[in-house]
Structure 1
Amino acid sequence: MSTTDLYRIFDQARKQCPNPFTLKSVISANEVWGEVMTDLPSLNQHIDERISDAIFEIRKKYSNKIGIAVKGDRGTGKSHVIHRIWKNIAQEGGSVFAYIGPCANPKRINSHVRFYLADSFNHQDIQGVTQWQKLAAAAIKTLKITELNEKYSAYIEKCDAPNELRKYIVATQTKDTLLEFFDELVEAILENQPGIDFYFLRALLFLLLKSVKSAQIAFAWIKGEDHPEIKKLGLPEFSIEQQEDKSIWIIQQICKLAEIASLPVLICFDQIDYGVNDSDSGDSGSQIIAKCIDQIYFQCSNVILICCVISDTWREIEQMGSGIPDRVGQRSVTAKPPTGGQMIELVKLRLDWFYKHNNLNSLDYPNLYPFKENEIRNIASESAGVRSLMKWCAEEFEKGVILPGKDDPSPNTEHKKKKEFLEKYNELLNNQIDIPIKDDDKLAAIITCGMKMIPDGGTENVVITKVDKISDASHDLHLTISGYDSLHKRNVKIGIRVSEATNGKTFNAVMARLLDYNKHGITRGCLVRSTSVPKNWKVGNQLKEQLEKQKGGEVVIFKKDEIRPLVAIEAIYDQAENYGFDKEEVTIFVKSLRLVADNLLICEILSAPVEL
């Protein structure tokens, strides 16, 4: 097929298909809970880490409440961060999450937050369990350490699988006995947890049952909605004014119960600049939200209050007195506009959707067609946000077929350059390139270089979001790999140390630092060397066993043939100009050819050790 025909096919697809750069360019509540079209985990990862640190602090009771202001202009990815927070909680658990959107009635701000918090907790994790069910099951599980353990043992043992607990309750209780059964459970739980309200706990237990009528009535009561059968469920009725006053109290009850289960409560306030002003007080919509956050901060514990705010809106909050800005922004983190490289990755994600949707082969077209890389980088250099980038791309995409000019790379040119790269790469391999055995730091640099060239889709079920080189402190880690393990549904941070030590004491010193998971916050340690640990190193083998059996880490013994390709890649990358490429081209070729992603050493490092 001729080049002209390929571009005509592209243009035909462009006319018939939705513009990929106008689809879901703004994150709404639906996307927070569902899927987003383009999310780049590396974008604003520092915010994810700051929030993860806060969750850790609350869970460990180092703090009992934290306010976090996430600042940044529109389109810098603040809502994408919220989406990732929920996605992580849905996959890993460990906390509960609520998303609060703009408020349309400033007089009912507390009820608004209560309503959306209750609605948020009805969303299910990847196991099909709602956050309400988690809390209810956690309340029942508290009976395990009481004298009533034996009486309720059949229920307690199912608390880690709330849907199984729900089925068991439905199977063992009738409609006539259910209310009495729950009342007995409430009284039993409150004997040891007196800080929880009787009626709130009764309503919560009904939410275990998900969609049955009694659960719907209880859910309406918790949300603050009117329901004609609330009294039949033995729950008190409140007027509209009372509901507003009760709203923070309900949130307080939720936080208390979640604390019993060691589940920090994250409440995310998004798009607060879209709130409605209060004509009576003169407060802006953002100031009304700030006062509400401040009220929750004072009355609740075990809570993280996240406020996403643009710079102009934050200045309004800063003008407020009574220390409100200090609590709302107790900690502050700023969203950063994407770098040139991140801009390019975002554009690629949209183009990949377009190619896949239209059964086109991206290799038939120049890189980033119909855009030019330098144009995208120019937008990034102006510190533009994602929305500005998407708007520009959407307009350019509509302009029709853009035949490559004389200086533009054609598909044939790209194919030729990739072929040249492969030739240089294979030449190095065939010449038996030197491997710097015994040079720990150089071997670590080679592995680090390779880890940065794994495709966005990851390898060995691990999607890499960040590669950090550790300082050259003696015996410490060489690097850490942060990412997401899609097989085990959890975030991982792998600490890697290369040690070719032939001295037992040096090896022991390295292992001692690798076993200190807390220092760099790693979830798994990995020691890399070319020879097995000598059997006569008694202490060394004890430390190795501790790493593998107690810490879930591993010692990876590599063969020369496994690291040789990584040595060749690093050599070409470091001297890219001498080989006739630029460094970004080398990265693109290595990613597309999966030269690192399929490397046996890299796969062994990233794959979770087999549990015996």
Structure 2
Amino acid sequence: MSTTDLYRIFDEARKQCPNPFTLKSVISSDEVWGEVMTDLPSLNQHIDERISDAIFEIRKKYSNKIGIAVKGDRGTGKSHVIHRIWKNIAQEGGSVFAYIGPCTNPKRINSHVRFYLADSFNHQDIQGVTQWQKLAAAAIKSLEESEFKDKYSQYIQRCDSPNELKKYIIASQNKDTLLSFFDELVEAILENQPGIDSDFLRALLFLLLKSVKSAQIAFAWIKGEDHPEIKKLGLPEFLIDQQEDKSIWIIQQICKLAEIALLPVLICFDQIDYAGNDSDSGDSGSQIIAKCIDKIYFQCSNVILICCVISDTWREIEQMGSGIPDRVGQRSVTAKPPTAEQIIELVKLRLDWFYKNNNLNSLDYPNLYPFNENKIRNVANQSAGVRSLMKWCAEEFEKGVIPPDKPDPPGTLEDKKKKDFLEKYNELLSNQIDIPIKDDDKLAAIISCAMKMIPDGGTENVVITKVDKISDASHDLHLTVSGYDSLHQRNIKIGIRVSEATNGKTFNAVMARLLDYKKHDITRGCLVRSTSVPKNWRVGNQLKDQLKKQQGGEVVVLKKNEIKPLVVIETIYDQAENYGFDKEEVTNFVKDLRLVANNLLICEILSAPV
């Protein structure tokens, strides 16, 4: 087939097929449970890791409840993270997951959360088992260590396969005996699990049966809906006002039962900025949801409460009193915009979908056709996020496609040197390289070197004007970074100290100097450390809390995979002549390629704590 024919076929497909860059550019609530068109696991992987760590802590009972605020502007991939969390749970188990969508009636917020949680637990994993079935089977399996083990042995041994257990119950019980069977089972389970409510447990056991009528009635009761046959299952009926009051109680029961199965309960609140305001209290939608999260936090254990917020929304929550922001955002993690390389990969994924759906071979066309890679990079560097880039791609894709009739002109000498630099950078990055993870001064020097290679336009809304090394006096700051915060329209000066101290007194001395904002005239302090401050360092933890909560500073976690690229950059810079460059060229290449500007560690240091 001639080249002309190939481009003609592509253009015909472009006209007839949906534009791949307008399809599902935003994750909806339905897609959280299904498949997304383009998901890049490396994008915001640090958030996945933070949530995985929380699940591990709850399961091991190191903590009994954790609030996590996932912050980030629209289009930075927060909802993609939620999708991946559920997908991982559906494949591997280990916890149960609920997705809470936007609430339109602030006076029924508790009932709203209860409804969505109940509905979420009806979703099936890859074995076709609902989360309700997992919990019901776990309740029955708890009889394994009880005096009722022999009586219910045939049921207990099927608990690891809830659908087999369901079939066995249906086969061994009829409509007349099913109610009394579950009543006896409830009594047996409560002998060893007295903290569970008998009515809730009875309803839960019916959910094991999935789609039979009694299960549908029990499901309506748990969701807080009316059903004419609720009393037939021996379940109490509640008025509408009572249902609102009972909602948090139902969530509490779910968390208690999940704890028996060692399954932490993840409740994820998304799109909270779309919630309706309360005209009576004057609370914004986000503040109403924050109060609900806080109530769940107080009354439940074995729970992880994830709240996805944009910066403006978080500022509303931050203004609330009674310690609500400290619990909702007990831990916080920020979604980051994709790097240029990740942007290229996202565009490629969309194009691959187009090629596949039109039986085209991507190898027959230039890389990223019909786009130019350099143009995509330029747009990516100027755009506010993935959504704006997708909009640009969608518009370009709609234009008439002109096949390239001649090869691109050879690149300039500077382009070739930049390509050579990138190859050496990637080669070093893929090799084993010594990371001085316990050398505070060396780590600080690496960060200082990197800060000087941020483009003139800045990153994380901060334009760098000056980077100063502080004297080598023991325990003092390592460096200060001066600049202008364009988001908050103010000058800033960040004092940075790296401290991997393993001695409490040394750490206290470091923190005392970091908290002395007047000495170096800093606007906020930043502690960089790879390990958490030991819980038995009472004074150290008090000083850390003072930095974060009273003086507007932050503690940034130093991760090997984030510092490694900066080690590589410093290595090439220090030995520039050996690599065939001069130092100015290295600085310019790093700026142009945004290798520092998009580095997660640097972004975390520069971004204002929210």
TM-score, normalised by the number of residues in structure 2 = 0.68
Aligned amino acid, residue 279 of structure 2: S
> How far is the alpha carbon of 1:3 from its aligned partner?
2.5
1:253-292 aligned at under 5 Å gives the runs 253-292=253-292
> How far is the alpha carbon of 1:404 from its aligned partner?
2.4
Aligned amino acid, residue 186 of structure 2: V
SS at match of 2:194: coil
The percentage of aligned residue pairs carrying the same residue is 86
1:389-428 aligned at under 5 Å gives the runs 389-404=389-404, 406=406, 408=408
Q: Distance in 2 between matches of 1:314 and 1:156?
A: 46
Could you tell me which residue of structure 2 aligns to residue 223 of structure 1?
223
Check the 8 A contact 1:272/1:289 in 2, yes or no: yes
Q: Distance in 1 between matches of 2:427 and 2:336?
A: 29
Could you tell me which residue of structure 1 aligns to residue 64 of structure 2?
64
Q: Distance in 2 between matches of 1:289 and 1:279?
A: 15
Distance change in 2, residues 1:74/1:134 (3 Å): same
SS at match of 1:209: coil
> How far is the alpha carbon of 1:389 from its aligned partner?
1.4
Q: Distance in 2 between matches of 1:374 and 1:244?
A: 55
Q: Distance in 2 between matches of 1:256 and 1:203?
A: 15
Q: Distance in 2 between matches of 1:226 and 1:282?
A: 31
> How far is the alpha carbon of 1:381 from its aligned partner?
1.9
Could you tell me which residue of structure 1 aligns to residue 107 of structure 2?
107
Structure 1 unaligned runs (5+)? 414-444, 451-467, 475-518, 521-573, 578-612
> How far is the alpha carbon of 1:4 from its aligned partner?
2.5
Check the 8 A contact 2:27/2:79 in 1, yes or no: yes
Distance change in 2, residues 1:473/1:250 (3 Å): closer
Q: Distance in 2 between matches of 1:293 and 1:473?
A: 38
Could you tell me which residue of structure 1 aligns to residue 241 of structure 2?
241
Could you tell me which residue of structure 1 aligns to residue 141 of structure 2?
141
1:424-435 aligned at under 5 Å gives the runs none
Q: Distance in 1 between matches of 2:93 and 2:2?
A: 53
Q: Distance in 2 between matches of 1:95 and 1:167?
A: 24
Aligned amino acid, residue 195 of structure 1: G
Aligned amino acid, residue 307 of structure 2: C
Check the 8 A contact 2:108/2:244 in 1, yes or no: yes
> How far is the alpha carbon of 1:366 from its aligned partner?
1.2
Could you tell me which residue of structure 2 aligns to residue 294 of structure 1?
294
Could you tell me which residue of structure 1 aligns to residue 471 of structure 2?
none
1:4-23 aligned at under 5 Å gives the runs 4-23=4-23
Check the 8 A contact 1:114/1:247 in 2, yes or no: yes
> How far is the alpha carbon of 1:376 from its aligned partner?
1.6
Distance change in 2, residues 1:288/1:81 (3 Å): same
Could you tell me which residue of structure 2 aligns to residue 152 of structure 1?
152
Check the 8 A contact 1:142/1:189 in 2, yes or no: yes
Q: Distance in 1 between matches of 2:233 and 2:379?
A: 59
Cα deviation code 1:234-289 (max 9, x no counterpart): 10000000000000000000000000110000000000011111111111111111
Check the 8 A contact 2:115/2:224 in 1, yes or no: yes
Distance change in 2, residues 1:226/1:312 (3 Å): same
Aligned amino acid, residue 376 of structure 2: I
Check the 8 A contact 2:273/2:313 in 1, yes or no: yes
Q: Distance in 2 between matches of 1:473 and 1:307?
A: 32
> How far is the alpha carbon of 1:346 from its aligned partner?
0.3
Check the 8 A contact 1:122/1:131 in 2, yes or no: yes
SS at match of 1:257: helix
> How far is the alpha carbon of 1:377 from its aligned partner?
1.3
> How far is the alpha carbon of 1:446 from its aligned partner?
8.5
> How far is the alpha carbon of 1:576 from its aligned partner?
12
Could you tell me which residue of structure 2 aligns to residue 586 of structure 1?
none
> How far is the alpha carbon of 1:383 from its aligned partner?
5.7
Aligned amino acid, residue 161 of structure 2: A
SS at match of 1:99: strand
Check the 8 A contact 2:67/2:328 in 1, yes or no: yes
> How far is the alpha carbon of 1:447 from its aligned partner?
12
Check the 8 A contact 1:366/1:409 in 2, yes or no: no
Distance change in 2, residues 1:166/1:448 (3 Å): farther
Q: Distance in 2 between matches of 1:101 and 1:184?
A: 37
Q: Distance in 1 between matches of 2:48 and 2:437?
A: 27
Q: Does 1:186 align with 2:186?
A: yes
Q: Does 1:165 align with 2:146?
A: no
Q: Distance in 2 between matches of 1:17 and 1:308?
A: 34
SS at match of 1:191: helix
Distance change in 2, residues 1:108/1:316 (3 Å): same
Check the 8 A contact 1:337/1:383 in 2, yes or no: no
Aligned amino acid, residue 221 of structure 2: W
> How far is the alpha carbon of 1:382 from its aligned partner?
3.0
Q: Distance in 1 between matches of 2:181 and 2:393?
A: 60
Could you tell me which residue of structure 2 aligns to residue 124 of structure 1?
124
State the Cα RMSD in Å: 2.4
Cα deviation code 1:465-489 (max 9, x no counterpart): xxx9784799xxxxxxxxxxxxxxx
Aligned amino acid, residue 260 of structure 1: I
Q: Distance in 2 between matches of 1:469 and 1:53?
A: 26
> How far is the alpha carbon of 1:89 from its aligned partner?
0.2
TM-score, normalised by the number of residues in structure 1 = 0.68
1:307-456 aligned at under 5 Å gives the runs 307-382=307-382, 384-404=384-404, 406=406, 408=408, 449=430
Distance change in 2, residues 1:308/1:206 (3 Å): same
SS at match of 2:192: coil
Q: What is the aligned residue count?
A: 430
Q: Distance in 2 between matches of 1:221 and 1:408?
A: 67
> How far is the alpha carbon of 1:406 from its aligned partner?
4.6
Cα deviation code 1:52-101 (max 9, x no counterpart): 00000000000000000000011100000000000000000000000000
Q: Distance in 2 between matches of 1:390 and 1:42?
A: 18
> How far is the alpha carbon of 1:387 from its aligned partner?
1.0
Distance change in 2, residues 1:258/1:370 (3 Å): same
Aligned amino acid, residue 78 of structure 2: K
Cα deviation code 1:353-392 (max 9, x no counterpart): 1011111111121111111111221233236311111111
SS at match of 2:99: strand
Cα deviation code 1:538-576 (max 9, x no counterpart): xxxxxxxxxxxxxxxxxxxxxxxxxxxxxxxxxxxx999
Q: Distance in 2 between matches of 1:65 and 1:198?
A: 24
Q: Distance in 2 between matches of 1:395 and 1:164?
A: 52
